[in-house]
Amino acid sequence: MEYKLTPTCFTPLHISLAQFKRGAKRCFCHIVEAEASPHALALAFSLGTLISLLPTPGLNLALIALLTAVFKQIHKGALVASMGVWNIFVITPLYVLGHQVGTLLVGETAVLPPLPFGRFTNLGTAFFVGNFIVAVAVTAVSYLIIRLAVSRRRQPMGQEVQA
């Protein structure tokens, strides 16, 4: 029996993606309508972005919990929303890019040294250096995007955005 892919095969996936899109839009609207400045929202989102993109799996939840406990004025919704945006499906290609950037900067040895973890250390150094650079760059871009998006969403019709 031959199995043919038809559009009806993907109906549950299509419905779940549509629900995800509606939920994300609703979440964005709640964050934008919060009583915080565009700078505060963008700063919280970009801080969550930096924490989420650093190669510290598992520690990012603890760091965000610590930030929300220490800094009461930080916008918790934007901080948590950033963790939703930077999930494992989005982070994985960025980790690969970060490793490539780190390999260009730090280098990579082709011969295994006598120590069993020598090559791993070199690959780890390239991975962490490259991912730190990528995380800082993406954080800066995410700050600008969120700040502009919030400013544009809040502005009355017919006025220009003040950055």
pLDDT at position 15 over 90: no
What rounded mean pLDDT belongs to the chain? 76
pTM of the model: 0.72
Q: Where are the domains of the chain?
A: 36-154
CA gap 151, 162 in Å, rounded: 8
Over residues 14-23, the mean pLDDT reads: 67
Over residues 5-17, the mean pLDDT reads: 52
CA gap 78, 112 in Å, rounded: 45
Q: How confident is the model at residue 132 (pLDDT cuts 50, 70, 90)?
A: very high
Q: pLDDT tens digits for 32-89?
A: 677 788 888 899 999 999 999 988 777 888 888 888 889 888 888 888 888 888 888 8
Q: How confident is the model at residue 157 (pLDDT cuts 50, 70, 90)?
A: low
Do 129 and 104 form a contact (C-beta atoms < 8 A)?
Answer: no
pLDDT at position 117 over 70: no
45-66: burial string, b at 16+ Cβ within 10 Å, e else: bbbbbbbbbbbeeeebeebbee
